[in-house]
């Protein structure tokens, strides 16, 4: 597709379960970002992938959060043993190798009950 | 570290009113500045950007000028429409370091425009 694609768009999970969120960036974009948008916290940076370089994981809130990017394209954000405070919209974004404009997907809305 | 401070909302205006949403930043070096907009039920969209001092970004009647002397990037529109109702985010991106292009966002400002 033309834009950043994320799935699922909505996910309700029970506390303690693991969840996986998927991101398919714009074709050819080398950089990929995960952000979290929650009430009262605004937009928080989570993790950044650039080509084959080691990812910048400085924004991951705990070791329950991890992400990988396979083949330089699709990325999966995994949250283990989910907690209620993990409820948020998880946004994926990508950027081409030239320029600094980042393009966002529509997000995955996670609700932990 | 880098930070962005936005005017707190919500902002409520009548159609055709003048809009200003203030944004100031703290950053090392020479960041690029952005305004993103999030319409109800939709993802974040880039509204406009400016990459160096005194640049003016503009789109859909919105404007913002990169003011290095006041470290500001205020968003303005001369005549708002109901369709402008959305959440507006100011953001910066620093070109240096290992996280090139990583965005730091303000808290967002909710704008509601009434007919």
Which letter does DSSP use for residue B67 in this model? B
B46–chain A Cβ distance below 8 A for any pair: yes
- Structure confidence by residue, pLDDT tens digits, B30-72: 899 999 999 988 888 999 999 999 999 999 999 999 999 999 9
Distance from CA of A14 to the nearest CA of B (A): 24
Give the model's confidence band at B96: pLDDT under 50 very low, under 70 low, under 90 confident, else very high: low
CB A3 within 8 A of CB A103: yes
Phi, psi of A100 (to 5 degrees): -125, 25
Query: Residues B77, B61: contact at Cβ < 8 Å?
Result: yes
Q: What is the structure's pLDDT at B99?
A: 57
Q: Give me the percent of chain B exceeding a pLDDT of 70.
A: 94
The pLDDT tens digits for A7-61 are 999 999 999 999 999 999 999 898 999 999 987 678 899 999 988 888 999 999 9
- pLDDT tens for each residue of A64-109: 999 999 887 999 999 999 999 999 999 999 988 887 788 999 999 9
Question: Could you tell me which chain B residue has the CA closest to the CA of A32?
Answer: B102
The nearest CA of chain A is from the CA of B26 a distance in Å of: 17
DSSP-assigned letters across all residues of B87-103: EEEEEEE--SSSSTT-E
Q: Are B42 and A56 inside 8 Å of each other by CB?
A: no
Answer whether B7 touches A (CB < 8 Å): no
Which B residues 54-113 touch A at CB under 8 Å? 89, 93, 95, 98-108
Among B30, B37, B31, B24, which Cα is nearest to B77's? B37
Query: Hey, what's the torsion of the CAs at A105, A110, B3, B6, to 10 degrees?
Result: 80
- Per-residue pLDDT at A97: 82
How much is the pLDDT for A71? 81
């Amino acid at each position: 597709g033309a834009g950043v694609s994320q799935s699922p768009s909505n996910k309700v999970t029970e506390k303690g379960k693991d969840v996986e969120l998927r991101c398919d960036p714009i074709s050819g974009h080398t950089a990929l970002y995960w952000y979290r948008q929650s009430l009262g916290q605004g937009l928080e940076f989570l993790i950044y992938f650039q080509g084959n370089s080691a990812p910048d994981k400085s924004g991951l809130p705990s070791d329950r959060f991890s992400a990988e990017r396979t083949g330089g394209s699709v990325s999966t954000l995994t949250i283990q043993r989910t907690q209620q405070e993990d409820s948020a919209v998880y946004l994926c974004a990508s950027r081409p190798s030239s320029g600094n404009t980042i393009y966002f997907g529509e997000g995955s809305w996670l609700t932990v009950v | 570290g880098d930070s962005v401070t936005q005017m707190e909302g919500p902002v409520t205006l009548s159609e055709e009113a003048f809009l200003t949403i203030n944004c100031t930043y703290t950053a090392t070096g020479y960041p690029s500045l952005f305004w993103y907009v999030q319409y109800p039920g939709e993802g974040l969209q880039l509204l406009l950007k400016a990459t160096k001092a005194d640049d003016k970004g503009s789109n859909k009647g919105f404007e913002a000028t990169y003011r290095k002397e006041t470290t500001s990037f205020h968003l303005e529109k001369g005549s708002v429409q109901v369709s402008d109702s959305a959440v507006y985010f100011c953001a910066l991106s620093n070109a240096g370091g290992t996280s090139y292009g990583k965005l730091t966002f303000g808290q967002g400002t909710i704008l509601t425009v009434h007919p």
